[in-house]
Structures are given as structure tokens and as C-alpha cells.
Structure 1
Amino acid sequence: MAQVKLQNVRYAGMTTCVPHRVLSNIRDCPPQMRNARERLVRNIGIEERRICASWQTFSDLAFDAAEQLITTLNWQRDEIDALIIVSQSPDYLLPSTAIIMQDRLKLSQSTIAFDINLGCSGYAFGLHVLGAMIASGGIKKGLILIGDRSAGVIDPLFSDAASVTALEYDPAAPPMYFDLNSDGSGHRTIMLPAGGHREPFGIQHALPWKDSDGMWRSPTELCLDGPAVLSFSTQVVPPAVRKLLEFADCPIADVDYFLFHQANRMINETIRKKLGLEADKVPSSLRDFGNTSGASIPLTMTTRIGEQLDGQSARLLMCGFGVGLSWGTCLVDVAGAVFPALIES
């Protein structure tokens, strides 16, 4: 278990961008699926989702979010020492999307830029990687760009979003605490089977089949074992939260907000109840935005508690969990950080 305490790292701000296009899980589904979809919405709690235009990528959303955050913070672009992208939706298989974004954002050529291939758990991992670089003293300011383009017109779960977080060196900053974990034995639980080097795309992968629910499926689409995801999430998250609070010597009552990856209502409510948390301390963006992968925690911060956080002080516990399987928990104090309103692009 990787438990880490980072010093001298300030959470300077965060902003989030979503596409303009809104899809309703009920109004925009085929008529023959309406009754089944209404039952599903009651269980998963996702009524609307955001989906990119055909020309948009994750990095287009991240670019708009980064431009706004840099402007709001009044940071000089040549001061930004590192740019990290946490995503499973790269512009290309190569080169790294982060390096492309370094040029697109007009950052210095001395900027460290690289990608991290993580999804639902990625926010805590990204904060830790950049935070550790800053805590070492060599990096003074950096950006984490996180999110995915994963929405489909028919799929009721996933939505598109990107978020950008700014961290900076500050000897007076309160410590950040992390607990990061992985279990590759469950890698098939959430998986895109075809298209990599283990199973390169072939003509056979272009032939869909109809499953037991009457839905057409393809090996190039995400395979998700719902019951296994439910079991994994509800078993690992509550003890991970308790262990991190113990490591940080922080009573649960001292946390202002608990922010969990927005998987679905059943999973998140089970986690909340197992931890005995009051509903008003566990904000959710599921109803209006669905599952936005690694961007779901910052999206929830922006849309549900951004006004309360903007320029204020708060202690936040964040936990992402999912594809990998992996899960990451962090305890972060924000003080004076900026949280601009949601951007639609």
C-alpha cells in the first residue's frame, strides 16, 4: 500500500470543460428501449450526458479549460514547468498528447510533458505525480489535464469532459496525503479488448453481434462487468478512505466534503452509507453529467461546490476507482484556490 505525505504543494485552482451537446438517457433513446431505459435511469441515477461533436477530442476540451485557468490565475506561460495528461483518450497512439498540448498552449520548450494512461482513478494519481515533482523543489508550477472522450449515443453511462488543475510550490502549504493502489488481476472487469498490440484490430472486429439484451456489441467497444465493478468498488473504497484518514490523523468529521468518482448511484450510495456520511457532504454530478471517467471528481467540484470553494478554505477527501483495476484516495486542503464556472465548448 503506497501511502504518501507531500509537503510544500499548494492546490492553486481547477476548472472543467464539457461539450455543449446534451443527450437524455430517456428522450434520446430508441422508442422500443424507453421502458427499460427508465428503469435503468432510476437505478444508475444518470439522466443526461454530454457528448463531443464529431471533430472534438478530449484535448480540445482540456485546451479550453487550461486557457481559462491560466488566465484566471494570471500565470505566465514560461513559468509553467510541467504539463501532465491523465487520459485514456489520446489524440494519437503516438506522439504523446501532452507534448502536443505543450505547443498548443504555447508553453516553454523546457516544460516537462507526458501522458499517464489511467481512467476513473486517475485524479488522485495525477495529483500525486505532479505534487511529488513540485515537492522535490525543482518544479514550481504545473498543470494536470484529465478526462476522456468516452460517450456514445446509445450507451447510458459515459459522458465527455476534461478538467485542468494547477499546483504550485509553496512552503506554507498544508500537507497532502495519498493512498494509491492497483489490482491487475481484475483487468478484464473494465476493458477495451481489441486495438492494442495484444489483439490488433482486424476485419473480424468490425462485425458486431447482438447480446442477450438485444444490444449490438463490438470488440472495439468497452466491455464492462457491472456486478464485478459494484463488488470491487463497494469493497475497496470504504476501507481505503478510513486508512487514509488514519494515516493523516484526520477525524472523519474534519473533512468538509467527500468526492467520489461518479460511477453510478447504486455504487456511490453504498459507499456513502458504509462510511456513515451525511448526503450533503458527498456532492454528486451523476444526474446531469453521467460517468466522466477521470474528470468526474473535478467536474463534481466545479458544478456542485465550486462557489463554496472559490477563494475559501476547505478540506477535501477524494477517491477515484475503476479501470485497471485501480483506486486512489487523497486528502487535500484548498485555501484561496480559484474555481471558475463550468465551461461549455
Structure 2
Amino acid sequence: MSTSTLRNVRFAGMATCVPKQVVHSIHDVSPHLRAERERLVRNIGIETRRVCPDWQCFSDLAYDAAEKLLDDLQWAREDVGALIVVTQSPDYLVPATAIILQDRLGLPHSTIAFDVNLGCSAYPFALQILGSMIASGVIRKGLILLGDRSSYKHKDPLKDPLFSDAGTATALEYSEDAAPMYFDLNSDGSGYKAIIVPVGGHRSPFQLEHAIARKGEDGFWRSDLDLILDGPAIISFSTQRVPPMVENLLGYAGVTKGEIDHFVFHQANRMINETIRKKLGLPEDKVPSTLREFGNTSGASLPVTVTVRLRDALAQGRTRLLLCGFGVGLSWGGAIVDVEGAVFPELIVS
């Protein structure tokens, strides 16, 4: 069954870190491409993106977010029972990035640390994984470090007007007074080719010829190491699967749309997100967006949007959020979370 409930798990805090470099979708490309980019920006709604320099990894951003969050929460490092890293941009194929970050953060050897390979849908899944560990009594406090260096999938960040980089940290803890969290999580591997980097794994190991770039119809050069997106398939999947899931989650939780303060969706692109919003009949002021300034930050787009758009609102008192991620896998999921008294540092730029 895709729906589930977690009890005794409190949302304690969230921090988001983005790189300093800002790339403009129109102004930073060659003059002969600007008219085409202007049309594209109108459709996808992304004007600027945050891009890591060559030396900076997702884990560096996640480390800065975690350090700030732990300091603001005043959590003792020895009390962190689990560290879950959710990314498709690991430092290495082996070992797991979580093990490296456990050491960098000064967490004890008793901290359970492991990686999860999920992208755009990741945030609700991550909450369920760590929340289940806390609810079962395995641990009492834990961290989720989630995000991607998505821009690496195109070596030239100017050729991709969509993806942006970010690292986030989320803290959960045991509390008998916590409101229930509700989930609806789904997967459909038959659509795995819709969003894929086809070369580099064991199914298709890297060969030198895979690195040879070929010029596409859009004028950009791409190799077999670049990300492949099946646009029509992604649009169809997102707009057909997400709205029914949201309705099902609301029904399962016994919550009406009016009782949700904010619906936070994965920031895919403006066309997809607006179609989902309209299908669900949601007012614009209940559906915050960070697409224009931060682009598509993969699984981190939910924490980015919460941090940038809802930080002040969350400081006012108890707030009910519906968090929805969808994409690569294919996978999609949602979570209804009540937030009260949580710590939200200002956006970190590193």
C-alpha cells in the first residue's frame, strides 16, 4: 500500500545551501541564441540558476547546511543517531557519501549513515525513511542531507537552462506530542528511460567514444555522458500521476485542501507546475515557487522553496504543508507535515 502514517516524529528544522555562482539563462548565452532562450524562459520560467564551480560537490553544500542547522538547533553531535544522504551526485561511486559526511561533521561512530539514490521525488521518501527509524525507536534524532549537483550532467552549464545546484539538511526528532505525518509514495520503473544518464554504470560502462560530443539541432554539443530527457513523456507522467496522488493523500489523511496552508511541489518547470496547480484547483498564493531564481534543483527543490519562500510564515506558528516530489525513476510521492517551532536558518550561500 502506498499510503502510510508516522507518529511521534517531529520536524525540528531545515537549512539550505546554494553555490555563489549565478548563471543567467538569457544574458549569459551567445547573442545568436538569445531569441530562442527568451522563448524557452517564458515556457519553463527559469531565469537564473546556481551552479557549483568545478571543485565544489553537493556534499560541500550539504555539509555547510548541516553545520548551520546543528549549531542553530544546539544538538550535541553524539545525539545524532542517523545520517541519511539522498543524492544522485555522490562524491564517489564507492564509498557512500554519507560515511564521508559522518566523519566531516564529527558525528559518532554509532551514527547510522547510508546513501539513497533518488532525485526529483526524493524529499517525501527521505522523510518516510528517517521518520520510520525514529518512530520505531531505533534512534531519537537524525539528519537528512539531500540535494544534487545537477549542473554537472552538462559540462557546460550554459547549454542547460534547467538544472541548478543545492544542498539541504533536515532534522527530525522523536516527540510524543508531534502531529502525525501522512505519506503517499509511488514508483514506476517502466519509465526509467524518460530521465537517464545512459553511460557510466555497470549496464553500459564508460568507453572513450562515449565522451565524444555531437552537435544537436539546438546548436549545443552533447555526449553520451549527458543527461537525456524525454520531454513529452515527463510532461505526461507529471501531469497525469501527480494530481490524483495529491487527492488520494488528502483523502487518506482526512484533510481538505483548505486545511493545507501551503502546497510545495518539486520545481520541474513552469508549464508542468502550472498544469498540476490548475488540475488541483489550487490558488496561486498557496503554491510557492522558486523556479525563476533557482531553477530545477532536483530533490532539493522542496527544501529550497520552503527556505526561500516560507521561512517567515513558518515562524508565525503551526503550519501544515503538503510536500510533493516527482520525476526521475519514475517515482512520485507526497507528505503532509505539520511544522511548529522548527528552526529555519536563512539561505546559506557558499
TM-score range, shorter chain: over 0.9
Map 1:86-101 to 2 at 5 A.
86-101=86-101
Distance 1:9 1:147 in 2: 22
Map 1:195-234 to 2 at 5 A.
195-234=200-239
Residue equivalent to 2:117? 117
Report the RMSD for the aligned CA atoms in angstroms: 0.8
Residue equivalent to 1:337? 342
Runs (4+) of structure 1 exceeding 6 A deviation are none
Residue equivalent to 2:104? 104
Alpha carbons 1:130, 1:142 under 8 Å: kept: yes
1:266 to 244, 262, 271: 271
Distance 2:25 2:254 in 1: 42
Residue equivalent to 1:184? 189
- Aligned letter for 2:106? K
Counterpart of 1:26 in 2: which secondary structure? Answer: coil
Q: Is 1:278 aligned to 2:264, yes or no?
A: no
Map 1:1-345 to 2 at 5 A.
1-151=1-151, 152-310=157-315, 312-345=317-350
Give deviations 1:68-113, integer Å, cap 9, x for gaps: 0000000000000000000000000010000000000000000000
Distance 2:117 2:21 in 1: 26
Counterpart of 1:228 in 2: which secondary structure? Answer: helix
- Aligned letter for 2:166? A
Distance 1:70 1:292 in 2: 23
Distance 1:4 1:178 in 2: 5
Distance 1:311 1:334 in 2: 10
Q: Percent identity?
A: 64
Q: TM-score, normalised by structure 2?
A: 0.98
In the TM superposition, what is the alpha-carbon distance from 1:213 to its structure 2 partner?
Answer: 2.3
Counterpart of 2:90 in 1: which secondary structure? Answer: coil
In the TM superposition, what is the alpha-carbon distance from 1:263 to its structure 2 partner?
Answer: 0.2
Q: TM-score, normalised by structure 1?
A: 0.99
Greater displacement, 148-157 / 228-237: 148-157
In the TM superposition, what is the alpha-carbon distance from 1:217 to its structure 2 partner?
Answer: 1.6
- Aligned letter for 2:240? Q
Give the count of matched residue pairs.
Answer: 345
In the TM superposition, what is the alpha-carbon distance from 1:312 to its structure 2 partner?
Answer: 2.2
- Structure 2 portions without partners, runs of 5+: 152-156
Distance 1:9 1:114 in 2: 20
In the TM superposition, what is the alpha-carbon distance from 1:211 to its structure 2 partner?
Answer: 1.9
- Aligned letter for 2:192? H
In the TM superposition, what is the alpha-carbon distance from 1:212 to its structure 2 partner?
Answer: 2.3
Distance 1:64 1:213 in 2: 37
Counterpart of 1:250 in 2: which secondary structure? Answer: coil
In the TM superposition, what is the alpha-carbon distance from 1:311 to its structure 2 partner?
Answer: 6.1
Alpha carbons 1:311, 1:338 under 8 Å: kept: no
In the TM superposition, what is the alpha-carbon distance from 1:32 to its structure 2 partner?
Answer: 1.5
Counterpart of 1:327 in 2: which secondary structure? Answer: strand
Distance 2:315 2:195 in 1: 35
Distance 1:150 1:49 in 2: 11
